[in-house]
Amino acid sequence: VDIETVKAKKDLPEVVLVDSRDSDRYLGKHEPIDPIAGHIPGAVNYPWKQVTDENSLAKVDEQIQRWEKVKNAEEVIVYCGSGVTASINEKFGYS
């Protein structure tokens, strides 16, 4: 989705924004890429590294548990700084 879509939908109760970057980037403690540190207000942080093993393969039980919290959302928008880490979550069915 583009930035205009995110702006239009970010405050809707049926939409969940998922920031898939590391927690330090989500919290604004470390930002090597984006011009503004932190996250989109209202977004939840689901870092992709927390649910993959050392080979970047999915830890299935952790994925199921994590996404259970947002399963009732009509729309889940996953983002990161470049598209790379968001694509990991997209692999598991969330985009």
Q: 80 an active-site residue?
A: yes
The DSSP line for 8-57 is HHTT-TTEEEEE-S-HHHHTTS--SS-SS-S--TT-EE--GGGGB-TTS-
Structure tokens at 63: 């994925």
Question: Catalytic: which of 51, 76, 80, 88?
Answer: 80
Catalytically annotated residues: 80
